[in-house]
């Protein structure tokens, strides 16, 4: 409703920088990042001295993986009068990590913590920098601090699992992933993390895998179905994978699962199979549709 009202006002000629900013915030709430970024850019164009649109735009650019653009936006914002330097420094640190400027990122996160000592995101940033450098001990210390300050900070849970996997501590990794998903069973990133870790442990461990997952089979299944229901676009896939280590991503069979579901829909369609297939093809931003179709065709071949 807010988006419709603001779009009507904009179309009627009331497109002030304040309206563009509010429209951007409404699009963020609607999970429409492209439209939100456009609105914030328009707000900045109309009033290039207001910091709030810069902060929103920089955050969206970080989430989209456009880290170089995010660096420019946060650096511009920090050159203006502002009231929340800690958040801007933290956003800039994240952008620096994305561009592999780890020394600059460390300085940005340290400055954010100086300004706000209990800022979980800044502690997580320092943990990420340490982890990228291979300093697992410091990464663990900062990650624990971030989780102590905000136990529901999902990226901190993801990093703690990555660290435990690097340390070859499956039980610790599984415990963190299981507890986090139990606490927030609607979170698709935690669901993906749990499923990916389970797949990884089944491939690389034997006794420890059965010990870690003995009583949690149903939980893993719930996580798997939640991910498959949610991940229908490339953007959704990138969102659930954000921060998860490559070794876990490589073993999570999401493409195979998606292809099997597609095959099942086609097989059950009988005479309407072309309708189902064209409907699938019409959803242009699906996760790699070529892989889905190729693998679905393999299932069809196997079953003649």
8 A C-beta contact, residue 73 and residue 58? yes
The three-state secondary structure class of 182 is helix
- State how far Cα 4 lies from the chain centre: 27
Task: Give, in order, the Cα–Cα distances in Å from 161 to each of 60, 196, 227, 235.
Answer: 25, 11, 18, 23
pLDDT of residue 3: 80
User: Angle at which helices 154-166 and 170-183 pack, to 10 degrees?
Assistant: 160
SS3 130: helix
Q: What is the pLDDT of residues 141-160, one digit of tens each?
A: 999 999 999 988 999 999 99
What was the pLDDT predicted at 238? Answer: 82
The span from the CA of 250 to the CA of 180, in Å, is: 22
Q: Which residue has the higher pLDDT, 258 or 161?
A: 161
pTM, to two decimals? 0.77
3-state secondary structure 42-57: HHHHHCCCCHHHHHHH
Tell me which residue of 212, 219, 218 sits closest to 184, measured CA to CA.
219
CA distance linking residue 161 with residue 174, whole number of Å: 8
pLDDT tens digit sequence for 91-118: 999 999 999 999 999 999 999 999 999 9
């Amino acid at each position: 409703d807010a988006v419709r009202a603001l779009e009507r006002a904009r179309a009627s000629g009331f497109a002030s920088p304040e309206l563009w900013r509010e429209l951007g915030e409404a699009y963020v709430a609607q999970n429409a990042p492209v439209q939100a970024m456009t609105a914030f850019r328009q707000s900045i164009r109309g009033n290039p001295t207001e910091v709030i649109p810069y902060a929103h735009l920089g955050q969206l650019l970080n989430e989209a993986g456009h880290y170089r653009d995010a660096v420019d936006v946060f650096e511009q914002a920090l050159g203006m009068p502002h009231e929340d330097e800690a958040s801007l420094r933290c956003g800039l640190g994240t952008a620096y990590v994305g561009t592999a400027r780890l020394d600059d990122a460390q300085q940005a996160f340290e400055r954010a913590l100086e300004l706000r000592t209990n800022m979980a995101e800044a502690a997580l940033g320092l943990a990420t920098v340490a982890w990228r450098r291979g300093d697992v001990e410091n990464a663990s210390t900062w990650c624990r601090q971030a989780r102590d300050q905000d136990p529901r900070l999902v990226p901190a849970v993801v990093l703690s699992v990555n660290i435990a996997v690097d340390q070859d501590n499956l039980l610790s990794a599984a415990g963190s992933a299981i507890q986090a998903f139990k606490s927030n069973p609607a979170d698709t990133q935690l669901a993906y993390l749990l499923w990916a870790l389970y797949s990884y442990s089944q491939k690389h461990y034997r006794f420890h895998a059965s010990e870690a997952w003995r009583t949690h089979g149903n939980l893993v299944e719930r996580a798997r179905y939640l991910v498959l229901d949610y991940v229908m676009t490339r953007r959704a896939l990138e969102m659930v994978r954000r921060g998860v280590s490559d070794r876990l991503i490589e073993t999570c069979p999401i493409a195979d699962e998606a292809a099997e579901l597609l095959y099942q829909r086609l097989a059950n369609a009988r005479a309407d199979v072309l309708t189902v297939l064209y409907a699938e093809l019409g959803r242009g931003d699906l996760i790699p549709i070529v892989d889905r179709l190729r693998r679905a065709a393999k299932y069809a071949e196997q079953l003649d």
